[in-house]
Structure 1
Amino acid sequence: MLPTSVIEFFSAHQDLLWLLTITIDLSITLILYWWFGKVGLYGVVMLNIMLSNLQGPKLTVVFGMPTSLGVILYSGIYFATDLLSERYGKMEANRAVLLGFASSLVVVLVMTLSILFLPAPQAMAIHSAITLLFGFTPRFVFGSLFAYLISQSFDVWIFHYLKEKTEGRHLWFRNNASTLLSQALDTVLYSLVVWWGIVALNQAIQLGIAKYIFKAIIALVDTPFIYWARTWEVEKRDWYDSRKHYSKQF
């Protein structure tokens, strides 16, 4: 799909590839928000939670530390829910969290059922690949969804708690504080529930610390983006508001 020269360049510059992927993920979030309003942010949450679960098992090394590829897209969810919280309120942010949770459950259910179908003789390789990719263990499903639901719900709550305490000022503070605290909670829950027992406790802790460092970097990087997006007038692009406006005309 990509030219050989591009593949070779990024193979030799993995740190740059990580930064580029963060930029692309945040840019996609902004584009969807610009075009679809809050519905676009709902889509970001659902897409990122599903893609991060797919990429989660793949480990790589960035800046000399082992980490999961799912960290990049998973961290982008916090940016989307914080933007929803800032512009539309706690209820809309919680709705996005629940939509992400429900979409993950649907993917797990549907793909588990698909694996039960016996493959045609000429499709054995594809069946093996799908089974390897979607052969979720109960521990992984429970751990990832449990950590997601608890940490995301906490993120929305602490964001609004800090907003009330600061009387709507200091967006940078509540954006970073809510994300860093909820990411810490997510990392602890995921490391203990999913990794501990599969790997030694000290290794699970090392993986968790490395993942949290990357999550913290992403949280700091997205701060200018949320300040910028907060000023956009996207209400006319919001499907729900447009529907209400349309219905009033008739």
Structure 2
Amino acid sequence: MIEFINFFTFQDGLWLFTVILDLFVTLLLYKLFGKRGLYAIVIFNIMLSNLQGPKLTVIFGMETSLGVILYSSIYFATDLLSEKYGRKEAQGAVLLGFIISIIMVLMIYISLLFLPSQTVYSQNVHNAMSVLFNFTPIFVFGSLFVYLITQSVDIWIFHAIKKKTNGRHLWLRNNASTILSQGLDTVLYALIVWAPIVGFWKAMTLAMSKYIIKILIALIDTIFLYWAIEWKESTSWRKKLQLD
């Protein structure tokens, strides 16, 4: 018991809390706003995971990118979209996330062209933004390219398995589509994004730890997916907001 507590550190607990919180927020947005809520979480997670991507941390003794937490949850949202609304809606969310991320990056680059005022505070903020956002182009454009490919593969596998099993075995199509497409995602991301920065072998080491964590998230989100399938959207809430 003591050995388990020593292994399961605050860092690991924080990781688990963040994963569950993100999945819960996804369910909440789905409950309140239906497919619009799932579109929103895909867009939010892809943008935030790209900003967090350069930050490396240690989870369960493995060095990995912090962005993997929110990025992996996108698969949960698109699988839920696929199951409830069909392939077209899931692919639409992926494309929308891709386009908005490109626009965000371009607008950030433009903002960096503005010179800061002469105050120390303004200079510090500008320098901090320059460090963060000048470091993300490789991560953003590389990851967005990989995201577009592998999310499309995930949706295709999900519906191929659903067709083969006549709509049965939700756990199978959820996990198989995510684990297979995440494997492709991890390899491509390591080769395109990390390898030019940290070297091939370091990139492969990061890829292995990232993939293990992605599999863990996929297994966790299966529970939430079954929960979400039983839910009915809160149409009364949406009517109050005049969304229908």
Common fold: TM-score over 0.5: yes
The percentage of counterpart residues that share the same residue type is: 61
Structure 2 residue aligned with 1:118? 115
Equivalent runs, 1:91-240 vs 2, <5 Å: 91-122=88-119, 123-136=122-135, 138-234=137-233, 236=235
In the alignment, which of 12, 16, 19 is matched to residue 16 of structure 2? 19
Deviation of 1:138 (Å): 4.5
Letter aligned with residue 225 of structure 1: F
Paired with 1:185 and 1:55, the residues of 2 have a C-alpha distance of 21
For the Cα contact (< 8 Å) 1:39–1:239, is it kept in 2? no
Structure 2 residue aligned with 1:84? 81
Paired with 2:97 and 2:105, the residues of 1 have a C-alpha distance of 12
Aligned residues: 233
Paired with 2:127 and 2:55, the residues of 1 have a C-alpha distance of 17
Deviation of 1:196 (Å): 1.2
Paired with 2:131 and 2:97, the residues of 1 have a C-alpha distance of 23
State the SS of the aligned residue for 2:95. helix
Letter aligned with residue 31 of structure 2: W
Deviations 1:179-232 (A, max 9, x none): 001101110110000111222211111100000000000000010110110111
Q: Is the alpha carbon distance of 1:243 and 1:160 closer, same or farther for their aligned partners in structure 2, counting shifts above 3 Å? A: farther
TM-score (norm 2): 0.91
Deviations 1:70-105 (A, max 9, x none): 000000000000000000000000000001101110
Paired with 1:14 and 1:28, the residues of 2 have a C-alpha distance of 21
Structure 2 residue aligned with 1:8? none
Aligned-residue CA RMSD in angstroms?
1.8
Q: Is the alpha carbon distance of 1:60 and 1:138 closer, same or farther for their aligned partners in structure 2, counting shifts above 3 Å? A: closer
For the Cα contact (< 8 Å) 1:172–1:223, is it kept in 2? yes
Structure 2 residue aligned with 1:75? 72
Q: Is the alpha carbon distance of 1:57 and 1:138 closer, same or farther for their aligned partners in structure 2, counting shifts above 3 Å? A: closer
For the Cα contact (< 8 Å) 1:39–1:238, is it kept in 2? no
Structure 2 residue aligned with 1:6? none
Structure 2 unmatched ranges of 5 or more: 1-8
State the SS of the aligned residue for 1:60. strand
Deviation of 1:236 (Å): 2.6
Structure 1 unmatched ranges of 5 or more: 1-11
Paired with 2:137 and 2:115, the residues of 1 have a C-alpha distance of 22
Paired with 1:199 and 1:214, the residues of 2 have a C-alpha distance of 20
State the SS of the aligned residue for 2:64. strand
Task: Tell me which moved more, 137-146 or 165-174.
Answer: 137-146
Paired with 1:132 and 1:19, the residues of 2 have a C-alpha distance of 29
Task: Tell me which moved more, 45-54 or 129-138.
Answer: 129-138
For the Cα contact (< 8 Å) 2:139–2:193, is it kept in 1? yes
